[in-house]
């Protein structure tokens, strides 16, 4: 019976070489904690200044008439309804196109594709595509959707272009979500005699759904906030009617912000800031939706 009494001095002396380093190690820990805190502080500070500035300029202009009105050369009469509807249409098209394409590609790459050099190359390239400047997708969209397929400068063409833009992000997020499902789930499904399709449909996809949906919604938020590609594929800046998604011109919120911000008159800077507040609100709604969807879908997952 040689169990040491906790109050008694240890049987073997603690190696003294750890003692001098203790203070330094604790100090290192504190410094790292401080650095992390400073990092988040810088972010919060920038965000706070941005928000205060935008709200200070934009809030006086933000009212129901602004949300339901159409653009005008007189800032007091100007509204953003066409841009809001345009952004909404683009967002819906992006969701409709990128969900099936992105999820199917991710399921293929994680569940079906063999782990060979070609598929690894494919996956690396998809990751690289996520880093391509968005203006490049605008050039592609202009050549492919607007001119070659003859869709013209419509919000449908914009939705397709934005789908290409966010598809890499959706695929990568979906792959990560699918990989996070433990292999025991797959093996369990096979053990019960499931085919690969049944395994994916009944076990893997539902388990990965929260992560997939979160990735999709966040990517959609990016598509709605993006202006550069749409400038190339022909979004107008002065649209006083609600856009028809299949023909004719449209505009979106970021384009409207950009145009108003570049006007010399101070009042246009004000309505530009008001439109930014509307975009921020839209983003907040989408991010909130991502949280809710994630919480709902993951309620029944337990392993």
CA distances from 33 to 18, 41, 46, 175 (A): 22, 12, 20, 32
Structural tokens at position 244:
């028809």
Q: How far is the CB of 275 from other proteins (least distance, A)?
A: 16
Q: How far is the CB of 113 from other proteins (least distance, A)?
A: 25
Q: How far is the CB of 29 from other proteins (least distance, A)?
A: 41
Task: Output 94 or 126, the one with its CB closest to other proteins.
Answer: 94
Task: Output 130 or 286, the one with its CB closest to other proteins.
Answer: 286
Q: How far is the CB of 274 from other proteins (least distance, A)?
A: 17
Integer Cα distance of 276 and 279 in angstroms:
5
- SS3 call for 247: strand
Q: How far is the CB of 33 from other proteins (least distance, A)?
A: 38
Task: Output 13 or 150, the one with its CB closest to other proteins.
Answer: 150
Integer Cα distance of 303 and 296 in angstroms:
17
CA distances from 116 to 109, 121, 122, 197 (A): 11, 9, 10, 21
Cross-strand bridge partners of residue 247: 244
Task: Output 71 or 168, the one with its CB closest to other proteins.
Answer: 71
- How many Å from the N-terminal Cα to the C-terminal Cα in the chain? 41
Q: How far is the CB of 280 from other proteins (least distance, A)?
A: 21
What is the DSSP code (8-state) at residue 192? T
Integer Cα distance of 181 and 81 in angstroms:
43
Q: How far is the CB of 131 from other proteins (least distance, A)?
A: 24
In degrees, rounded to 5, the angle at the alpha carbon of residue 135 between the alpha carbons of residues 134 and 137 is: 70
- By CB under 8 A, name the binding residues for other proteins: 71-73, 85, 88-89, 92, 95-96, 206-207, 209, 231, 234-246, 248-251, 259, 261-266, 296-297, 299-301
Residue 95 CB burial class (10 angstroms; 0-12, 13-18, ≥19): middle
Task: Output 126 or 189, the one with its CB closest to other proteins.
Answer: 189
Task: Output 62 or 255, the one with its CB closest to other proteins.
Answer: 255
Task: Output 165 or 297, the one with its CB closest to other proteins.
Answer: 297
């Amino acid at each position: 019976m040689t169990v040491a009494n906790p109050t008694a001095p240890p049987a073997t002396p603690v190696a003294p070489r750890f003692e001098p380093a203790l203070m330094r190690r604790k100090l290192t820990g504190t410094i790292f904690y401080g650095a992390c805190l400073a990092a988040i502080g810088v972010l919060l500070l920038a965000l706070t200044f941005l928000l205060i500035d935008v709200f200070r300029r934009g809030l006086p202009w933000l009212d129901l008439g602004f949300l339901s009105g159409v653009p005008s050369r007189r800032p007091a009469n100007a509204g953003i309804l066409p841009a809001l509807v345009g952004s909404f249409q683009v967002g819906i098209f992006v969701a409709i196109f990128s969900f099936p394409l992105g999820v199917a590609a991710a399921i293929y790459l994680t569940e079906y594709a063999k782990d060979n050099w070609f598929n690894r190359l494919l996956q690396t390239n998809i990751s690289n595509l996520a880093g391509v400047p968005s203006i490049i997708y605008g050039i592609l969209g202009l050549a492919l959707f607007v001119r070659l397929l003859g869709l013209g400068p419509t919000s449908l063409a914009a939705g397709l272009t934005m789908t290409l833009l966010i598809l890499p992000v959706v695929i990568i997020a979906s792959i990560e979500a699918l990989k996070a499902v433990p292999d025991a789930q797959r093996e369990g499904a096979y053990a019960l005699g499931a085919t690969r399709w049944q395994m994916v449909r009944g076990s893997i996809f539902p388990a990965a759904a929260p992560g997939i949906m979160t990735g999709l919604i966040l990517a959609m938020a990016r598509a709605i906030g993006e202006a550069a590609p749409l400038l190339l594929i022909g979004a107008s800046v002065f649209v006083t009617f609600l856009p028809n998604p299949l023909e004719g011109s449209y505009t979106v919120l970021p384009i409207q912000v950009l145009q108003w911000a570049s006007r010399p008159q101070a009042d246009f800077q004000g309505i530009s800031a008001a439109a930014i507040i509307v975009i921020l609100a839209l983003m907040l709604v989408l991010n909130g939706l991502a949280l809710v969807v994630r919480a709902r879908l993951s309620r029944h997952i337990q392993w």
